[in-house]
């Protein structure tokens, strides 16, 4: 009886523990290649990132963005957009397992 009461009283804790343990297991070194190198950007998302990256670079080159903090934000948008579209990888997409790329046929 004591064991059953323990698990009933700690059911939420056990569920959270299993969830966190599963997340940690997802980031083990064996999965780092998948986390950082797998292609997960494609289609409209790829086009969207490329266009916004190019527009941000053009805005910086044309001097449209005048204030210094905004220049850094626009430069970050440009770098992130072009970097993720060239590599076809987005690490924030990889963490929850989102992919907009077409799956390769084996």
21 and 44 inside one domain: no
Tokens (6 digits) for 56: 């941000």
Write the pLDDT tens digit of every residue in 19-49: 555 555 555 555 666 667 788 888 898 999 9
Domain count, the chain: 2
Range of the domain at 3: 1-37
Which pTM was predicted?
Answer: 0.63
What is the distance, to the nearest Å, from the Cα of residue 78 to the centroid of all Cα atoms in its chain?
16
State the CB neighbour count (10 A cutoff) for residue 81: 20
For residue 17, the model assigns a pLDDT of: 58
**H or E segment to which residue 51 belongs:** helix 44-62
Tokens (6 digits) for 73: 């934000």
33 and 50 inside one domain: no
103 and 64 inside one domain: yes
Write the pLDDT tens digit of every residue in 55-72: 999 999 999 988 888 899
27 three-class SS? coil
How far apart CA 88 and CA 43 sit, in angstroms, is: 10
27 and 50 inside one domain: no
**pLDDT, averaged across the chain:** 77
């Amino acid at each position: 009886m004591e064991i059953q009461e323990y698990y009933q009283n700690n059911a939420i804790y056990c569920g959270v523990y299993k969830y966190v343990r599963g997340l940690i297991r997802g980031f083990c070194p064996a999965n780092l290649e998948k986390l950082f190198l797998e292609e997960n950007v494609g289609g409209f998302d790829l086009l969207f990132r490329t266009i916004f990256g190019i527009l941000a670079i053009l805005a910086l080159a044309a001097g449209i963005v005048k204030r210094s903090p905004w220049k850094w934000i626009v430069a970050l948008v440009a770098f992130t957009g072009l970097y993720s579209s060239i590599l076809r990888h987005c690490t924030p997409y990889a963490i929850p397992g989102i992919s907009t790329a077409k799956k390769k046929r084996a």
